[in-house]
Amino acid sequence: MTNILQIQNLSRRFGKTIGIDMLSLSVREGEIFGFLGPNGAGKTTTIRIVMNLIRADSGTVDVFGRRVKWGDYGYRKEIGFLPGELPLAGGFYGESLLDYWQDLSGGKAPLREKCLQALDFNGKDLKRKTGEYSTGMKQKLGITGALQHNPRLIILDEPTNGLDPLVKHAFLELLREVKAGGATVFFSSHNLSEVEQIADRTAIIRRGKVLTEAPIAELKRRHHKHITITFKDGENLRVFREKFQCEGETEGSTLKFLAGGELTSLMNALCGREIMDLNIADPALEDIFLRYYEGGDE
């Protein structure tokens, strides 16, 4: 699969502060890629370099198979971009700004009405000046501006900030639809649940470095599963624990523990035991994220 965005050994300092440090990742054409990390991890710095808003100290960025050079902005017509903090001049009407962004992106906006409808943003609001907009309304306008021209690559920096839960759900569905239409989505977030819901792959970043880059399913396979077993009685539990060594919590005849790797030895230990219930759950993305941030997977 073709890489639509390729970042190699990207570094940027702000005085003595490290923004990003030898950061590398790739985004494949037609996928939704989640760029995950807390505030200050380096997500916005990376995105601003990709968009040619600031210069890197070192490293390279390739978009659509073409090396991005400082002062070259032509490639941005095929990108839909939402910055983390969208600057809106308060004296402009919402509709006028959408028209302006449309002109900057080639003069077409085939997805404008679809976006406005999905985000519950009506024509009356578009006739108001953006100085009267709430944070959520500004975000809806910015999302529409980023998607309306049906770009090949969509880059969104914390796109759900300010959105209420219903609109957030509609927005994620909208991203699935534009992906189905052939677009590639690269979005930064510190919201673990939304990344888990929608991303095909993700990179976890900390202090300007990528700790891991993998499909969500692969990340889950790498980490421990949550096992809960309820035995018929304490004797069955005791015999199982003699055969299968694990650290866990017991409550009555129920045992809870974590298990990694292949589960063959677990299944063998369960043979012959009387079991009332068995649950094997993949780790949540939140569990994986916390393990990296606690330093367990440097």
DSSP secondary structure of 1-66: --EEEEEEEEEEEETTEEEEEEEEEEEETT-EEEEE--TTSSHHHHHHHHTTSS--SEEEEEETTE
For residue 27, the model assigns a pLDDT of: 96
Which of 51, 60, 69 is CA-nearest to residue 11? 60
Torsion of CA 68, 73, 78, 81, to 10 degrees: 100
Q: What is the structure's pLDDT at 294?
A: 63
Q: Among all chains, which residue has been given the structure tokens 């017991």? A: 250
**Which residue in this structure is represented by tokens 């990003």?**
20
Enumerate residue ranges in the chain where pLDDT < 50: 296-298
User: Rounded distance, CA 96 to CA 93, Å?
Assistant: 5
All domains of the chain, ordered by start, with CATH?
3-220 (3.40.50.300), 224-282 (3.30.70)
Structure tokens at 284: 């949540």
Count of helix runs (H) and strand runs (E) in the chain: 11, 14
DSSP 231-293: ESSHHHHHHHHHHS---EEEETTEEEEEE-S--HHHHHHHTT--EEEEEEEPPPHHHHHHHHH
pLDDT score recorded for residue 297: 47
The confidence score (pLDDT) of residue 293 equals 66
- Provide the 3-class DSSP secondary structure of residue 117: helix
Report pLDDT for 285: 64
Task: Give me the phi and psi of 291, to 5 degrees please.
Answer: -65, -45
Q: Rg of the chain over CA atoms, in angstroms?
A: 23
Say what the pLDDT of residue 129 is.
Answer: 92
Closest CA to 27 of 52, 48, 51, 4: 4
Report yes or no: 64 and 78 within 8 Å, Cβ to Cβ.
Answer: yes
